[in-house]
Structures are given as structure tokens and as C-alpha cells.
Chain A
Amino acid sequence: MHFLKLILRNTLRHKLRTSLTVLGLVVAILAFGLLRTVVDAWYSGAEGASSTRLVTRNAISLVFPLPINYQERIRRIHGVTAITHASWFGGVYIAPRNFFPQFAVDAKTYFHLYPEYFIPPAEMKAFLTDRKGCVIGRKLANTHGFKIGDTIPLRGTIYPGAWSFTVRAIYDGDAGTDTSQFFFHWNYLNETMKKVVARRTDWIGVYVIGISDPDRAAEISTEVDAMFKNSLAETLTETEKAFQLGFVSMTEAIVVAIRIVSFLVIFIILAVMANTMAMTARERIGEYATLKALGFGPRFLAGLIYGESLAIALTGAGIGILLTFPVADEFSKQVGTLFPVFGVSLETVYMQAAAAIAVGITAAALPAFRAARVPIVDGLRSIG
């Protein structure tokens, strides 16, 4: 009781110094949490990936397409339950900063492979019957205020021209599902291209293959790729997760940089904290010597210093963690659909708390050791 009282009052002794240190911690813990959440968001596509879906792409690179006639051949492989395809469209909605992913898909089969997209049956029907219709995610709809029946103009980049689509369906998903995507009929894209550049018809981006048994993923992948060995477009088949991670790894350097910065932030606040605690303990060396003379042991003194350091660190961390949620929300709003899934995970909160505790303990270590060790007479001579 008295021990805690001493710690609390010592902490509040230099209000300005303590406030500034707490402020520093709040900023550091907040920054750490946000940076980690950005990294999480980067990997979220892979996290939500299904183990019963395989993705087949052109073996040379993702940017090269595959012929549409592979579809029927893959379907016949034993263990394949469904197949569909998707092609990256890459159109611009008004300005490039409004980025969201757009795919031309096989409308009849695509959504059977993605049961995590919830679409009202009536809307689905409306989409299937409108050649120029599209399906958009809830997050995308909210970001730009799109409603059923709205027209969305897109300026083509890979597929030149001015395109426009009518919103026929909006899909929902749970927290880990990317609802910032835009899907439309590949048939419409293909027929349009037929009139413009005939050689660019009947190509698709990737095949998505449904399998019944995740344990056979490797086997089936090998079989698919063997089938197209030495053909015009060789294939590379992998699980959806591996595919997503491969996609992410193209930007891995940035993710690594963000990770490093997030730990540097913690390291900097550790240096600030250690300085504060060293300064504090040095000023009180006479008090510690007096307590020792009265019979209090080195553990009591170390406890006072650790306690004060942890009190400051945890106060800063508490505020920092609480602020992470609204700030992450705001950040998510600002960047719009760039990060489809952007949420502070429980793991991030644990990491923030752990970082704060580590900072509190490390910052106190040297001052506590010194205070416990300094000879009483030397400590007393510092008074007066």
C-alpha cells in the first residue's frame, strides 16, 4: 500500500517531465500499432485465402494471360470440382487515387467459388442478365456512395477506351473479407475487344480452381502444370494463399522497411524513457540512501524505480492503444480502398502492450541497479 503510494507520488513529482514522457510513449505506441496494422493489411489477402482454391497463372509472369480454352481441359482433371477465371482490368475511376481492384470474371461460375461473398439472390439474377452490369463490394459502395442502378464510368488502361457499368449487385462479407472489389462480365470485355483488337480476344488472366480435398492441392497443381508443359502458354498453379503471398512479396521491401521503422520507433522511446529514469534516479540518490539507512533493502529501492518506470510506460501505452482504434479508422477512411481489410488486430494490441512493458523494464534496469548498489555514505553525501 505504502509502496504503491510512494510510486504514484514519485511519478507525479515532476508533472511536466512525466507528461512529456507519457506523450512520447503515446505517440510511439500509436505509431507502432498503426505501422503493424499496415503490415497486417498488406498480408490480409493471403490470410483470408482459401485452402480449397488453386490459382493457375501464366508461368512466365502474372502479367501474361492464358488462353480461354484451357478451362475445359483443367475441369476434367480428377479432384477438380469447379473452375472459373478472372482478368485484371485496371481501369481508372475519375482519378488514379480512387484505386480499387476490378476483375472481368466468368459471371456464371465465379461466385460459386467465392461463397464468402454474400449476394442477395435477386441482385445476383439482375447481374447475370445485364451484360454491362457489375457486382461491387460493400466497402467500395460506401466509399463512393454507389447504389444499385448507378452507372460507374471507368477509363481503360490495359483495355483502352471509356467503359461504363451499371451496379446490379452489392456483396457483403465478414471482417476478413475484401469488400472493395469490382466484378463484371468477362464476356462483355471479350466481345468488345473482338471489335477493337481481334488478337486480344479469348485470353484470361488467371484460372481459379476449386478442389474437394486440400491435401491434394500439390498433386493437382502439378497435374495442371504438366498438362500445359511445352504448350504456347505454360502454367504455374499454386494455392490461393501462395499466390497472394507471391503478389505481396513484390512489395516485400516496403513491408520490411515499415517493420524496421516500427521497431525503431520503440527503440527511440526506450532511449527517451531510459534517460528520464536515469535523471530521476540520479536526483533521488540521497533519498534512496536515506531509505537504505533506515533499513530498507535494495529490492525495495529497485521496486520503486521499476514501479515508476512501468507506471509511466503503461499509462502511455494505455492511451496509445486506445487511440490506435480511432486513428486507424480515420487512416482507413483516408486511404479508401487501397487497403481492403484494415483493422487493428488483437495481436497488435498485445504487441503494443508487450513493447511498453519491455520499455518500462529496460529503462529502469540500470538506474535500479545503480540505486541498489550505491554505498549509503556516498548517497548521503549528495544531500546538502
Chain B
Amino acid sequence: MEDFTEPIVQIRQLTKSYRRGGQIISVLTNISFDINSGEFIALMGPSGSGKSTLLNLIAGIDKPDSGSLKVNGRDIATLSEADLADWRAANVGFIFQFYNLMPVLTAFENVELPLLLTRLSRDQRQERVELALSMVGLTDRVEHYPSELSGGQQQRVAIARAFITDPVILVADEPTGDLDRASADDILAMLQRLNREMGKTIIMVTHDPYAAKSAHSIRHLEKGELDVTNQ
């Protein structure tokens, strides 16, 4: 194992509940843990245990009720909506279970999308997008629309979109949940390569132990509380 000095994600006393009807549902209670830079961790736990909620908080698309949440040295729990959006664009790459590609955009345009929020020129964008699509092995699908691609291919486009801005962390919520075994293997291998070769910190939610094996370490969530098991 490498020596990780500064944790890239620092979570302290994080609490999150949802209000449904008149009822308050406690999802996460006093969660504290660190994720080191360059780590690839799997968040596991039964359905409804709060995995996605925790991931969404780390990714800055949801707000905790209390506790602190530092990512890359910045306490994102205190950021305004607009600042948080900018922060996400610069720091987080998203991979979703159902790929979440824009159906009206081609593979190329989907991957290019996050770059529209940067200052890169058209030529610079094109160069980057072509490189990213070649890294996920889709050079021959550049002009295809999502509906013309298989699930595995769509998820590869989504992965290219996630790392195109060179974010600090990649978050993946059940990235293989909708794929057959072969495509899932493909995606997991790709995430491992991103972690190993590009040093990307990856946080992956999964309920599949087989998928979790790709990670360095596994954290189990049980009824809103963590218990740590190192592989």
C-alpha cells in the first residue's frame, strides 16, 4: 500500500434525515470517516441503508443536516447552491446506474458537455474528447446517440464524461447495477485503470460483493452507521 498523507475526503459527525409527509426519517447518523487520495473504496450495505445518500453528500448534490464534510480541503456543507455547482463542475465526476446521458446528444457531445463549463477552446475540447473516447474504447462510436449504443457502451461514454474534466473524485452509484456480467467486468476494469493509472480517487456504491472486490477497501453501511472492513 502507498502512504496516504492528506485524506481527500474528511467526514465528521455527518447526519442526514429526510422529511416524508409529517415524518422525519433518519438516514445517516453521526458518520465519521476519511478517504485517502488515490483510494478506490466500495460502499456496501443493504438496500435503503443510506449508501446513495452518503455518496450524494460527498458529491455535493445534497446537503447534510449537521456535521462537517471536507473534500479536497474545502468544507462543502457550507457552500451556497451556486458555488456548489461550480465546485462540482471542477471537482466531481459522476457515474450513475442508468448512465444519465443526454439522449439528444451524440457520444462525443455527451462527453464534451462538462467541458462547456470550462474555458477550453473548441479545438482543445475536441482533442480531449477524442482522447477520452479512445481511452474507453469508443473511437468508432463517436457520432452515435445513446439509443444506438449498448448499456455497457453507454456506461463507457458516461465514464469518459466523468473524467474528462480531470476531477478530484469520481463517484459511482451502482455503476454495474444495470449491466450483464461481461459489461460489468468491462466497467470495473476501466474504473480500476482510472484509479491505478491516473490516480483517481473513486467512491463506488454497490450491493454486489463481486463488484466490490475491484476496490481497495469496502465500507459497510448498516442502518445509517458505518462499520469498516479492510480487504
Interface residues of chain A, those whose CB is within 8 Å of chain B, are 2, 5-6, 9-10, 13, 286-287, 290-297, 375-377, 380, 383-384
Q: When the two chains form their complex, are residues B104 and A296 in contact, meaning their CB atoms are under 8 A apart?
A: no
Q: Which of A5, A9, A297, A377 contacts B61 (CB 8 A)?
A: A377
Q: Which of A5, A295, A376, A377 contacts B89 (CB 8 A)?
A: A295
**Please, how many angstroms separate the alpha-carbon atoms of A293 and B88 in the complex?**
7
Known: A2-B116, A295-B114, A376-B62. A290 touches B100 (CB 8 A): yes
**Please, how many angstroms separate the alpha-carbon atoms of A376 and B59 in the complex?**
11
B 94-108 contacts with A by CB, 8 A: 94, 96-98, 100, 102-105
Q: When the two chains form their complex, are residues B104 and A384 in contact, meaning their CB atoms are under 8 A apart?
A: no
Known: A292-B85, A294-B94. A286 touches B114 (CB 8 A): no
Known: A294-B89, A295-B89. A377 touches B96 (CB 8 A): no
Q: When the two chains form their complex, are residues B104 and A6 in contact, meaning their CB atoms are under 8 A apart?
A: yes
**Please, how many angstroms separate the alpha-carbon atoms of A383 and B98 in the complex?**
7
Q: When the two chains form their complex, are residues B85 and A295 in contact, meaning their CB atoms are under 8 A apart?
A: yes
Report if B14 contacts A (CB, 8 A).
no
Q: When the two chains form their complex, are residues A295 and B117 in contact, meaning their CB atoms are under 8 A apart?
A: yes
Chain B positions within 8 Å of A293 at CB level: 59, 61, 88, 94
Which A residue sits closest to B59, measured CB to CB?
A293
Q: When the two chains form their complex, are residues B94 and A13 in contact, meaning their CB atoms are under 8 A apart?
A: no
Chain A positions within 8 Å of B178 at CB level: 384
Least CB distance, B148 to chain A, in whole angstroms: 15
**Please, how many angstroms separate the alpha-carbon atoms of A2 and B61 in the complex?**
24
Chain A positions within 8 Å of B104 at CB level: 6, 9-10, 13
Chain A positions within 8 Å of B96 at CB level: 290, 380, 383
**Please, how many angstroms separate the alpha-carbon atoms of A376 and B173 in the complex?**
14
Q: When the two chains form their complex, are residues A6 and B105 in contact, meaning their CB atoms are under 8 A apart?
A: yes
Report if B32 contacts A (CB, 8 A).
no
Apart from A295-B89, A297-B82, what 12 extra A-B contacts exist at CB < 8 Å? A2-B109, A2-B112, A2-B116, A13-B103, A13-B104, A290-B102, A293-B94, A295-B114, A297-B85, A376-B61, A383-B98, A384-B97
**Please, how many angstroms separate the alpha-carbon atoms of A375 and B63 in the complex?**
10
Known: A286-B100, A376-B62. A294 touches B56 (CB 8 A): no
Please report whether the interface of chain B is mostly helix, strand, loop or mixed according to DSSP: helix
**Please, how many angstroms separate the alpha-carbon atoms of A6 and B104 in the complex?**
7
Q: Which of A13, A295, A377 contacts B56 (CB 8 A)?
A: A377
Report if B227 contacts A (CB, 8 A).
no
Report if B113 contacts A (CB, 8 A).
yes
Least CB distance, B138 to chain A, in whole angstroms: 19
B 107-132 contacts with A by CB, 8 A: 109, 112-114, 116-117
Least CB distance, B82 to chain A, in whole angstroms: 7
**Please, how many angstroms separate the alpha-carbon atoms of A292 and B61 in the complex?**
9
Chain B positions within 8 Å of A287 at CB level: 100, 102-103
Chain A positions within 8 Å of B116 at CB level: 2
Report if B86 contacts A (CB, 8 A).
yes
Q: When the two chains form their complex, are residues B97 and A296 in contact, meaning their CB atoms are under 8 A apart?
A: no
Chain B positions within 8 Å of A5 at CB level: 109
Can you show 19 pairs from A to B with CB atoms below 8 A apart?
A2-B109, A6-B102, A9-B104, A286-B100, A287-B100, A290-B100, A291-B102, A293-B59, A293-B88, A293-B94, A294-B94, A294-B161, A295-B85, A295-B88, A377-B56, A380-B61, A383-B98, A383-B100, A384-B178
Chain B positions within 8 Å of A294 at CB level: 88-89, 94, 113-114, 117, 161
Least CB distance, A99 to chain B, in whole angstroms: 57
Among B61, B103, B109, B114, the one with the most A-chain Cβ atoms within 10 Å of its Cβ is B61
Chain A positions within 8 Å of B61 at CB level: 292-293, 376-377, 380
Least CB distance, B69 to chain A, in whole angstroms: 15
Which A residue sits closest to B117, measured CB to CB?
A295
**Please, how many angstroms separate the alpha-carbon atoms of A315 and B225 in the complex?**
56
Which B residue sits closest to A11, measured CB to CB?
B104
Chain B positions within 8 Å of A292 at CB level: 61, 85
**Please, how many angstroms separate the alpha-carbon atoms of A297 and B114 in the complex?**
12
Chain A positions within 8 Å of B102 at CB level: 6, 287, 290-291
Chain B positions within 8 Å of A6 at CB level: 102, 104-105
Q: When the two chains form their complex, are residues A296 and B85 in contact, meaning their CB atoms are under 8 A apart?
A: yes
Least CB distance, A209 to chain B, in whole angstroms: 70
Least CB distance, B118 to chain A, in whole angstroms: 10
Chain B positions within 8 Å of A377 at CB level: 53, 56, 61-62
Least CB distance, B81 to chain A, in whole angstroms: 8
**Please, how many angstroms separate the alpha-carbon atoms of A137 and B56 in the complex?**
79
**Please, how many angstroms separate the alpha-carbon atoms of A372 and B161 in the complex?**
23
Q: When the two chains form their complex, are residues A384 and B89 in contact, meaning their CB atoms are under 8 A apart?
A: no
**Please, how many angstroms separate the alpha-carbon atoms of A105 and B105 in the complex?**
74
Q: When the two chains form their complex, are residues B117 and A296 in contact, meaning their CB atoms are under 8 A apart?
A: yes
Least CB distance, A17 to chain B, in whole angstroms: 15
Chain B positions within 8 Å of A376 at CB level: 56, 61-62
Chain A positions within 8 Å of B62 at CB level: 375-377
**Please, how many angstroms separate the alpha-carbon atoms of A294 and B115 in the complex?**
10
